Amino acid sequence: MAKKVGTIDFDGRTVRLLVTKGDEILHWASATVSGELMNQGLILKPDEIAGEILGLLGSNGNPRRRFVTSLTGHRAASRVLTLPKVKSKFLNEAVRRKAKQEMPLPMDETYLSWKVIEAANGQMRVYAFAVPRIVIDRQVETLKAAKLKLRAMDLKPLALARVVEDPNCIIANLEDQSAGVVLVVNGTPEIIRSVPQTAEEAGPEERVEKLAQELSRTVQFYDEGHREYPLDPDTKVYATGLLLEGENIRALLAARTPYEVVLPAPSMQFPEEFPIASFSANLGLAKKRI
């Protein structure tokens, strides 16, 4: 029997909460807080954000012990690492050593998570990401203050990749304080680009133009490294994030890229009025195995 799962997406100055049970959406709500409480996804005052979460959660029998939260992508670093195949007891140290060489974040100030995605011909490919300790520690402190049980965390770009259910795609994300592109190939997020920004920087057209440029650079970078197998021209772009909720804004993006732009369509039961672009990360968190 499916259990209720609560998910929280911390992005910019917005807290989004979604409750699901299996493939059914039960409850969703969001709140925008001041920059003194949270900024660019980093919680500054855990007790106050805990109060916001409890207000969004309400008292309608929603879960207290099964929560999954997002970690903003632009504060993290991720890589697909290639290293010689080693025995399992030495693998953790080998991954940490390789990550320290190739990832820009200082290992003594970050939490590192990784997963083997392929092992063949004497080599291993490992997907690794590192997140500043302060980001994770503040989330743990916040849920503890709200007396909610944290079951798992996930990098937001990975949650977005999970919700689209397309093994080869581009994910465009546009929020008030961030923009990002995720290139997924054979089910693996090969390239993740996340750029912090502020809502005051430019209007919708300028921000969509910047996102389209980032998307183009991401595809070019991938194609240059994979000349024999460039990105398929039929690849779809999945629009996610608050600022891509409107059809008119998605049309602006579609006009600036050669790829078809669509909304995610995961196999779940959606209320007609559900804002799928805004809550795409939450949906991906809900589909995480815990």
Domains 4-73+133-286 and 75-132 in one fold: no
pLDDT, average across residues 18-41? 94
Helix-strand-coil split of the chain, %, nearest 5: 35, 35, 30
Please report the DSSP string for 112-170 in residue order.
EEEEEEEEETTEEEEEEEEEEHHHHHHHHHHHHHTT--EEEEEEHHHHHHHHH--SSEE
**pLDDT at residue 200, rounded to an integer:** 59
Residue 65, pLDDT above cutoff 90: no
Residue 12, pLDDT above cutoff 70: yes
CATH class for the domain made up of 4-73+133-286: alpha beta
Among all chains, which residue has been given the structure tokens 């996804």?
A: 41
pTM, full prediction: 0.91
Residue 247, pLDDT above cutoff 60: yes
> How many residues can be counted in the chain?
290
> How is the chain split into domains, by residue range?
4-73+133-286, 75-132
pLDDT tens digits along 174-228: 998 889 999 999 998 989 998 877 655 678 888 999 999 999 999 999 999 999 9
Least confident of 15-19, 60-64, 152-156, 223-227: 60-64
Residue 61, pLDDT above cutoff 80: no
**pLDDT at residue 62, rounded to an integer:** 78
pLDDT top residue among 72 and 154: 154
Residue 289's pLDDT band, with cuts at 50, 70 and 90, is confident
Backbone angles phi, psi at 186, to 5 degrees: 55, 40
What mean pLDDT value characterizes the chain? 91
CB 234 within 8 A of CB 189: no
Backbone angles phi, psi at 209, to 5 degrees: -60, -45
CATH class for the domain made up of 75-132: alpha beta
